[in-house]
Copies of this chain bind each other. A is one copy, B any other.
Amino acid sequence: MSFDLTAYMADRAQAVDRALDRFLPRESAPPASLHKAMRYSVFAGGKRLRPVLVAAGAEAVGGTLEAVMPAACAVEMIHTYSLIHDDLPAMDNDDFRRGVPTSHKVFGEAIAILAGDALLTLAFRLLANSSPAGGEAGRLRDMLIEVADAAGSAGMVGGQVADIECEGKVAGAAIVDYIHTHKTAALIRASIRSGAILAGASAAELKALGVVGDSLGLAFQIMDDILDITATSEELGKTAGKDQAQQKATYPAVHGIEASRRRAQALVADAHAALAPFGERALPLRALGTFIIERKA
């Protein structure tokens, strides 16, 4: 069961980039500054992990990236909007992201806030325009609710609130788990499951992919925390060591680096176990799990 993840990710990421370029408004259309800012952050690099997970989720149940492309681009836009807003001076106050100046440093705070707003809105427009397997309204609705719940106050935005409110305080294991599962894992879970919903997944398949999403999502954020400590700013494309400097509630801060790494490995093992019934169709998701704990940046 060998699988070339590097080629797979490169291929899917290129297709996603072409689709993002089609779906985003032209810079020449007014208001140009806003469209420029939207494109600047979407095309500022990034691995396209979430769109690739939408594809892998669809493929695990027999679908294709092509058929779920609007949803794949939508989750990337939601991720990008969250980064733009998180980086604002009123939040994490970050000057660099993915190796380039953050949106508000280039376009000013007002345009950065509005570019985030517009990306979130465009994401839901794309999701609405998805074509569910069999043309079923129920699937379209389920998928929209899946993504909205993951992105909203009970998901990603809620996690960001907890993250901000914990800064500088001594955070326990429970609050770190809350932040990580909400701020990061929720959208990763929704990425995998939304692709699967659109591709016609059964209830049992969706349940298993929920376990996969929870596990990979949390493992991803734990490794992110570890890399913030062990990697250089150059490798990360953003300021390394920022979590500790800002006294962020992180997994290694609570559990130590080694225990954190073991926890991430155990989570990916859980994901691999949950993927067993999917057979060869889940090769991309399996490989993405391994990638999450082995990546260097």
Residues of A134-170 whose CB lies within 8 A of B: 135-137, 140-141, 144-145, 148-149, 151-154, 157-158, 160-162, 164-165
Query: Counting CB contacts under 8 A, is A96 at the interface?
Result: no
User: In the complex this chain forms, how many copies of it are found?
Assistant: 2
Known contacts A122-B148, A141-B140, A148-B122; A157/B34 CB under 8 A: yes
- Checking B114, B140, B161 against A114 with a beta-carbon cut-off of 8 angstroms, the contacting residue is B161
Known contacts A121-B152, A122-B152; A141/B128 CB under 8 A: yes
CA distance A137 to B138 in the complex (A): 8
Query: Counting CB contacts under 8 A, is A97 at the interface?
Result: no
CA distance A121 to B121 in the complex (A): 8
Tell me which of A9-17, A105-113, A274-282 binds B: A105-113
Q: How far is the CB of A157 from chain B (nearest CB, A)?
A: 5
Tell me whether chain A's interface is mostly helix, strand or loop, or mixed. helix
User: Who on chain B is nearest to A152 by CB?
Assistant: B121
7 A-B pairs with C-beta separation under 8 A: A30-B158, A33-B165, A120-B121, A121-B157, A124-B144, A128-B141, A128-B145
Name A residues whose Cβ lies closer than 8 Å to a Cβ of B: 25, 29-31, 33-35, 38, 81, 85, 88, 90-91, 108-111, 113-114, 116-118, 120-122, 124-125, 128-129, 132, 135-137, 140-141, 144-145, 148-149, 151-154, 157-158, 160-162, 164-165, 178
